[in-house]
Structure formats: C-alpha cells, structure tokens
Amino acid sequence: MELLALGRVEYEPTYAAMQAFTTERAPDTADQLWICEHPPVYTQGLAGKPEHIFNPANIPVVQTNRGGQVTYHGPGQVVAYPLLDLKRAGYFVKEYVYRIEEALIRTLLHFGVTGHRVAGAPGIYVRLDDPSGHAPLANRPRKDATGTQSLEPDFNGLGKIAALGIKVSRNCTYHGLALNVAMDLEPFRRINPCGYVALQTVDLSTIGVPVSWNDAADVLSHKLATYLAP
C-alpha cells in the first residue's frame, strides 16, 4: 500500500480525486492510503437527512455517495482514505470495516486510550469517565441468545472519537475514516453526528491526551497499513 501524505486539502477536490482514482484503476494498480486534514466542512452520506444539520452557518455542506449520515471534518482531525482492492486483499466489506475499526482501536491504545465498538453504530467510542479503562462495554457488539446481533445503540457515558463512512465500487474502496485529535469541537454541536441526537463528540485533547496531529497521523497510517494487509 502506497502512503500519500496530502497535508491540509479542500474536501471536494479530494473527493473527486478519490472517485477518479477508483474509476481509472486497473487490476494491477497499487492500493493507496491518503492521509490528510480538511478545512471545516460537513459531509452528508447517502442516508443523510437534512434535519440532522440544524445550524451549518458558514460551514459548507457537501453531498457525497458514502454510507452513513452527516459528519464534520476540520483542522485537528486526521482523515484517512484507504483506496483498496478488496478482491485482491481477499476479504469482504464487513471485515474491511472491522479492520478499520481495529486499526483505530490500536492507534488509541498506543496513546493510552481504550477505544470501544458500540453495537449498531459504526465508529469508535471512549468512556468519558475513564478513557483508559479496559472494562468491556455492556453494549458492545455481540450476539444474543437467538444468535442475532442487537442493533440498538446505547451511547450513555460515551463520546465518539472516530467516525467512518465508506464506499465500495467494483470491489474497490474509497472514502474512509476520521480520528479526532485536537479540534474545535463546537461544529459538532450544530449537527446530530452520524444521525444520532445529542451524541457527544470528543477528541484526544479533551480527554487529556496531548498528541500532535503528525504523531497521530503517523501511528494511524502504520496501523491501517498493518490491519488492512491481505
């Protein structure tokens, strides 16, 4: 996987470039991982509902073809776009999402933070009262007595620290994930993040972990390259 460090780039040209790369890639095109940061922007997924953006003010809203609903990108957030051929990698979309989440969990662990999955709600969350505690969540993904997965998310006592939204075209991925490092979190209060009313969003800084953007980007890049490997 080739790593491209793009720096701070506008969202819409980056989105267009991802689409072009995916459309034009050949079976032997090397996978790429784009790491970047965006100026303030709200992005809506295919399932996005306008009522979840109630006060965008001067922040632009961009409609996209990724999964999920609305999220916010801004300075102080590490954004990663894996451009991956899943057929060549040898796994399916569900495992791809699991691997992305595992890379995020391992990145947080590197900085002494315990990341959690929540049943029915993609992304990574932390306990607000104990960000480094290892006790598993009662609402973690698991099967119930009937063998089915509970899909009713419960965010009590949690803050969302990383989001993901993906698109797969011709077995190839684009869009990706975002890890909150040291942001102005106020724009998240103008939306229902990922479509959830009053979901609290946090970053490493607000839970007491002083990490630079570059350090977080470096660790996340290496974890993604490891966990997305065939």
Per-position pLDDT tens, the chain of length 230:
999 999 999 999 999 999 999 999 999 999 999 999 999 999 999 988 999 999 999 999 999 999 989 999 999 999 999 999 999 999 999 999 999 999 999 999 999 999 999 988 999 999 999 999 888 888 888 755 544 555 568 899 999 999 999 999 999 999 999 999 999 999 999 999 988 888 899 999 999 999 999 999 999 999 999 999 99
| CA angle in degrees (0–180, nearest 5) for 9-24-89 | 90
Q: CATH for 2-227?
A: 3.30.930.10
Report the SS3 class of residue 90. coil
pTM: 0.94
Q: Which of 126, 179, 194, 202 is catalytic?
A: 194
The residue extents of the domains of the chain are 2-227
CB count in 10 Å sphere of residue 175: 24
CB count in 10 Å sphere of residue 230: 11
In the residue annotation, 172 being an active-site residue is answered as no
What lies within 8 Å, CB to CB, of 108 at 6+ separation is 114, 115, 124, 126, 161, 162
